[in-house]
Amino acid sequence: MSQASASPEAVRAVDLRKSYGDRVAVDGIDFTVPTGSCFGFLGPNGAGKTTTMRMIYGLSSPGGGELEVLGGNIVTERRQVKARIGVVAQETNLDGELTLSEGLAQQASYFGIDRSDAKAKAQELLEFALLADRADEKPRQLSGGMKRRLLIARSLVADPDLIVLDEPTTGLDPQARLAVWDSLERLKQRGVTLVITTHYMDEAERLCDRLVIMDEGRIVADGRPSELIAETVGAEVLELRPLPECDEEGLIDSLSDGSITGIERGPATILIFSGDAEAVLSRHDHDRFPLESALARRATLEDVFLKLTGRSLRE
């Protein structure tokens, strides 16, 4: 049994810090990533999540605090720890001159795997990525979703205990995203620990066992997606779009009572968080407060993010 599989924590950070000159990127954060789980980092641009990810896989050194990865100190044992980590960058950095099989075999050779074993490993990984029938093609012949699955397969060459993925499905169509999600869920079933960043809330809800939301270098929320939704905004949301002549302050006052857990106002919408959005809507006076539309729906991580940071994930 590997050290990673024996330890309950794949990553442990205590008062983790990182600055670039006068700019504080990560401001004393604490978190743990359970072994065999999928752990997510969410946050607006500049929140510190990418810097944190880079420290986890050894590309950047911590500026302070403690960081243990797979039971080792990422500073003093960097080489040993990095050998057990797979990285899937956001950029598609595949060798366009090699076939899929050749590219994976070459990657295997970097880890000291001999030629015959490297070919067998390449075939195994192509089968995992559902690309075995494309073994003799070059990356430029693949769709975006296929390239992402190939990148995930490449990260598995050295049988890592931990895989770090930076926005694994950005720019993919829904079918391709589902195929990538399936690959990641199969890795979880094998016991591989996944650490991801994503801007897709449905992706985070589906894949992540736990996640943190970062803002301005700090963690502002930490927990299971369902728990964060229930604790932060409640079960349901009433999404209102008032007409220009509507008195928004009067509308909010007319609906407010003890059942409402929060209100967020945007440029064109009012979000009312409650345990029963339909009950709140039933109190609405359509004649006094005209609306363009009203929608009662289930609360999501997007609502949690908006309430905690006040900013869209896509800025």
Q: What are the tens digits of pLDDT across the range 32-89?
A: 999 999 999 998 888 999 999 999 999 999 999 999 999 999 999 999 999 999 999 8
* pLDDT value at 313 more than 60: no
Residue 103, pLDDT score:
95
Question: Closest Cα to residue 85, out of 144, 33, 138?
Answer: 33
The whole-number pLDDT of residue 307 equals: 84
- Within the chain, all domains assigned CATH 3.30.70.980 are found at 234-298
- Report DSSP state, residue 135: T
pLDDT in tens, 83-126: 999 999 888 888 889 999 999 999 999 888 998 899 999 999 99
**Residue bearing tokens 């590997």:** 2
Helices (H), 7-162: 49-56, 78-82, 100-110, 115-128, 144-155
Is the model's pLDDT at 170 over the cut of 90?
no
Q: Is the pLDDT of residue 256 over 60?
A: yes
Query: What predicted TM-score, i.e. pTM, was given to this entire model?
Result: 0.87
Question: Which residue, 175, 223, 177, 168, is CA-closest to 198?
Answer: 168
Q: What is the pLDDT of residue 92?
A: 83
| Average pLDDT in the chain | 92
User: pLDDT value at position 311?
Assistant: 60
What confidence category does residue 243 fall into, taking pLDDT thresholds of 50, 70 and 90? very high
Give the residue-averaged pLDDT of 177-185: 93
- Residue 314 clears pLDDT 80, i.e. is over it: no
pLDDT at position 191, please? 93
Superfamily of domain 234-298, CATH level 4 = YebC, transcriptional regulation domain (3.30.70.980)
Domain 3-228 falls under CATH 3.40.50.300? yes
Q: Which of 135, 143, 84, 147 is nearest to 105 (CA)?
A: 135
What value does the mean pLDDT take over residues 256-265? Answer: 88
Q: Where in the chain is the domain with CATH 3.40.50.300?
A: 3-228
Structure tokens at 262: 């929060």
Tally DSSP H helices, then E strands, for the chain: 12, 14
Q: What is the pLDDT of residue 96?
A: 85
Give the tens place of pLDDT for each residue, 274-303. 999 999 999 999 999 999 999 999 999 989
The H or E element that residue 237 is part of is strand 236-242
Mean pLDDT of 149-166: 95
Q: How confident is the model at residue 4 (pLDDT cuts 50, 70, 90)?
A: very low
Q: Residue range 160-183: average pLDDT? A: 92
